[in-house]
Every structure is written in C-alpha cells, then in structure tokens.
Amino acid sequence: MTVHSSHIIPLRSGVLALGPMPLIMGILNVTPDSFSDGGEFTTLNLALSHTKKMLEEGADLIDIGGESTRPGANEVTTQHELDRVVPVIQHLVAEGIRVPLSIDTYKAVVADQAIQAGASIINDVHGLQREPEMADVAAFYGTPVVIMHWDRAREISLDLIGEMKRYFEKSIAIADKAGIERKKLILDPGFGFGKTHTENYELLQRMDELSTLGYPLLIGTSRKSMLGTLLDVPAKERVVATAATSVLAYEKGAHIFRVHDVKENRQALQVAVAARYGPPPEQGA
C-alpha cells in the first residue's frame, strides 16, 4: 500500500502543504484552441467567473494557460501568450483571488511577467529543458516549479519508468545548477505527452515507482485522449473517467490533481481519502 509522502512547499505568500489530503488544481485555459474548452474563458469576466466557480467547488490552486499543448496545436508567439495570460492574472488578483495561481508555460519571459503579475508557481510542460532561462527565472523569484515529463526522443524499447526517471534527473540537475531549492520541485508524469495509449495506462499502474525520487506528484489526466480512445466519447463526456483516474493515481501516491471538473474530482477523492485514512471524525459515527 502506497503511503503519501509529506511536503511543505514555500510560496511567495504562505505554503503548499502536501500529504494525505489531495489538492485540486483547477484548469483555466485562456486559449481559443485548447482541446476541450478552447475559447470559453477568453475574456476577463469569463475567466474570473469560471475561477470563482472552481473555487466554490473546492479548487485549491488555479492553473492559467495561454497556449494549447494539444496534439497539432500551433505554437503562439511570446507576446501573444503574454497578452492572453498577464491581464487575466492581474484581474484575478485585483478581484481578490487569493489561492495560489500557477502559470502554465514553457517560455521564460511569460513566466517572468506572470510572476510579476501575481502567479506563484511555474508549470513547465518541458520540464525546464526547452528554455534554459526558465530555471533562472524560477530561482530568481524563489518560485516552485512543476516539472513535467515530455520526452519526444525517448527510446521506446527501454523501460518507461526508468526512462522517465532519467528525464526527471536531468531536469532536477538543471534546477540544481540554477539554484532552485529541491523542496520547491513537483513532478508531473505527463499523461498523454510522448506516450502511447498503452503506455499511459502502464504509467497509471506504475506511478508509485516515481515516488522513490522523493518529490510530490501532480497528475493531469483530465478529459484526455487516453480516456476518449478507451471509451469513444468526446472530451466533455470524460468527467467520470477522469475522476476514476484521479482515484487510481491517488492510490499510487499523487498529491495534486489538475482537472477541468473540480466538483466531481473533489468528491471522488474525498471518498478515496476516507477509504484509505478513514472519514473525518464528525462523519465516522
């Protein structure tokens, strides 16, 4: 039985306390072309409204992205991405949103400006390996970093988890060199990124093997094609399937769950926590 490791991650204001209680990271895509919600939250008021809805449903963090990473999506310019995300972050902060805001970007300049606008976490889908300056930005601001696995050059004949560990070790070495404290690193196994349909399910089954690296784990399976391919349903009909993967990943030691549908995943994880560690005392009678 996997035991959840405990971690205290310092933020610019407060801390992230990770352990047996899962945290929900609500997804706020301010893009016109994300695979399941593109174009839905591209104005400041829509972004604020959706953020408030996710917080009411139990989100602990909000992850803001201005460039789609779905298969086939076109890369956007740095300025275009800045124009999408910085005003949203500034607006959320001005409107009193106090939960930690994460910036989903692999561009160092975007991360820098987002942090100045109020973001307190960097979520890099390239694991600090696309732009060397990204690690320097994180070190300068003392910002925690989510390091995601996305290794397009991976040798597929070798063991999946072994290769993922090697990739993460390279990212961790980059962080070390830049001066990022190891207690500020979070690992994301990158479901759906550079992995076959079968490998995604192998990863879900073996995710506890990544816990041996000693870092907290974030997972992002929400509405992804690994579920659509299995069930033959469109993105917005993958809510129950996403909740199932959240519970399975929690059982394998995951700490943070990046999802579109906060309420459903929160409820599923509450049941998983009660089954593993017992219900809260007031509900145990």
Domain range annotation of the chain:
19-69+78-275
How far apart, in whole angstroms, are the C-alpha atoms of residue 172 and residue 226?
A: 28
Distance spanning both ends of the chain, measured CA to CA: 26
How far apart, in whole angstroms, are the C-alpha atoms of residue 121 and residue 272?
A: 27
pLDDT at 2: 77
User: What is the CB neighbour count within 10 angstroms for residue 161?
Assistant: 17
Contacts 24+ apart (CB under 8 A), 232-241: 235/35, 235/36, 236/36, 239/264, 240/264
How far apart, in whole angstroms, are the C-alpha atoms of residue 91 and residue 48?
A: 8
pLDDT at 74: 79
Angle value at C-alpha 220, between 219 and 222, nearest 5 degrees: 135
pLDDT at 32: 76
pLDDT at 71: 66
Q: How far is CA 64 from the centre of its chain?
A: 10
Of 84, 107, 195, 224, which residue is the catalytic one?
224
> Which residue stretches of 95-238 are H helix?
108-117, 133-141, 160-178, 197-206, 225-231
What are the φ/ψ torsions at residue 48 (nearest 5 degrees)? Answer: -65, -45
- Is 238 an active-site residue? no
CA dihedral 126, 191, 247, 124 (to 10 degrees): 10
The b-or-e profile of 84-123 (16+ CB within 10 A means b, else e) is: bbbebbebbeeeebebbbbbbbbbbbbbbbbbebbbbbbb
β partners of residue 188: 148
- Is 258 an active-site residue? yes
pLDDT at 252: 97
pLDDT at 75: 85
Of 223, 238, 252, 258, which residue is the catalytic one?
258
CA distances (Å), origin 69, targets 66, 75, 104, 192, 264:
10, 8, 10, 10, 24
pLDDT at 43: 85
pLDDT in tens, 25-61: 999 999 875 444 445 666 899 999 999 999 999 999 9
Fold type of domain 19-69+78-275: TIM Barrel (3.20.20)
Mean pLDDT of all residues belonging to the chain: 93
How far apart, in whole angstroms, are the C-alpha atoms of residue 25 and residue 103?
A: 12
pLDDT in tens, 74-98: 789 999 999 999 999 999 999 999 9
pLDDT at 35: 45
Is 50 exceeded by the pLDDT of residue 127?
A: yes
pLDDT at 34: 47
pLDDT at 215: 98
